[in-house]
Structure 1
């Protein structure tokens, strides 16, 4: 009997002892509740104190909160820009708990924090995107847009004093809805095709103008070349005539002989039949034994 009571007493002491201690690691921060009311925080940001700690058993409870950066990923939603175009925006937020007491008092736990952050993110995204055209959201300065959204989120978190710190806000995607995107792309394709047709028409007109100018310049060059050729030929003929005249003046008989030889060479070819009267002047040099006319 005494032994049994001793064992029960030992188990009771061990149980009470276990209820009196708790451990907080480096990645956690603890909130101490006394009869449901928060009274203290352990190992919170800026007050590092991990390790073994003590509490009053059965009166105090311990809630653990993550000390690392946490991520909240929003579901894609449609938001209207300043030009009344609706965009599908997908964004996420990183935050960390810096005041577990205030965090517990305002949102309770991470699920409550995500619900509150969803509302804040939605309000901030709509407020910022509604102030700028859709073109700037889709293809503009995305970094500047995210900075504005993060500033808006930080302001609301600070006003509501949620006990958290916003680390980063990112917009993963900001695109037109599928049905609108197809219409926009079709319109863009049509505009590009019209622009391409216009460019091709201008190019064809310029090509015709270049070809016409080239043809005109070709005609001018050929005409100038023919004129230069005729001038050169005329000068050559004049020089030849002058040479012939000079030669005739120096020896008329040799000149007549030379001209006859040229005429024979041009008129009489191999196998060429010629019918000429025997007393024709054309063959005077053939009848002369001395080669004189």
Structure 2
């Protein structure tokens, strides 16, 4: 980590298991760029997400507070800028603070703290997912579409990640020679579902060699009211047979390697800009 660094680059992945990296000891998935970053920095093995859900986690990351304190409980209560974010603190001190990519806050019309939001993705209609407010008697949710999307190909999310990466490369290139401090929050979507993976990355993993998830074939699963509630809502079993499940796992690994490639391109652009020695990367 550079000493007395004046710049900050945060790179975010989405729905990325902490063990799905080579540097975390995963025996299959290939993440050479994340591995190299970990090798020259710090790898936190006991870090925990503030929430198992996307929108509350992003609110917690923005504010530096626990979910129970800021009361952004679920995907229907997105961050709205009312609680001061770390981005706003930096901006108020004269630092150029930009976001590139997915935010999933309420709206770009709120003062979320950034000097500029580039290619932002906020929650739909400023509302998010109202189903997230429900605690019981969840409506039926058809997972057929999720199953149909599994496999090789392009999706709007992977195309979005390519655009985010290219934009981050251009933005970092524009900082070459700059003496002014900056902070960039580059937020990728992969390996978030749909599990539709670009062809060259899907080809890296053979579905037939994928293990089934722990507990997949168990006749008896833990008895818990919430597990039953969610299982009735996300009825994956109707469409994800063993073959489709193995294909989904291969696609997930492929999307993780795709995301790693995006990270590598962003870090290469930082290096080429001459700013790497003056930048903390998270």
Where on the TM-score scale, by shorter chain, does this alignment land: which range?
under 0.3
Query: Of Structure 1 and Structure 2, which has the larger fraction of its residues in strand?
Result: 1
TM-score (norm 1): 0.18
The structure whose RCO (Cα within 8 Å, separation 6+) is larger is 2
TM-score (norm 2): 0.19
Query: Of Structure 1 and Structure 2, which has the larger fraction of its residues in helix?
Result: 1
State which structure, 1 or 2, has the greater radius of gyration over its C-alpha atoms. Answer: 1
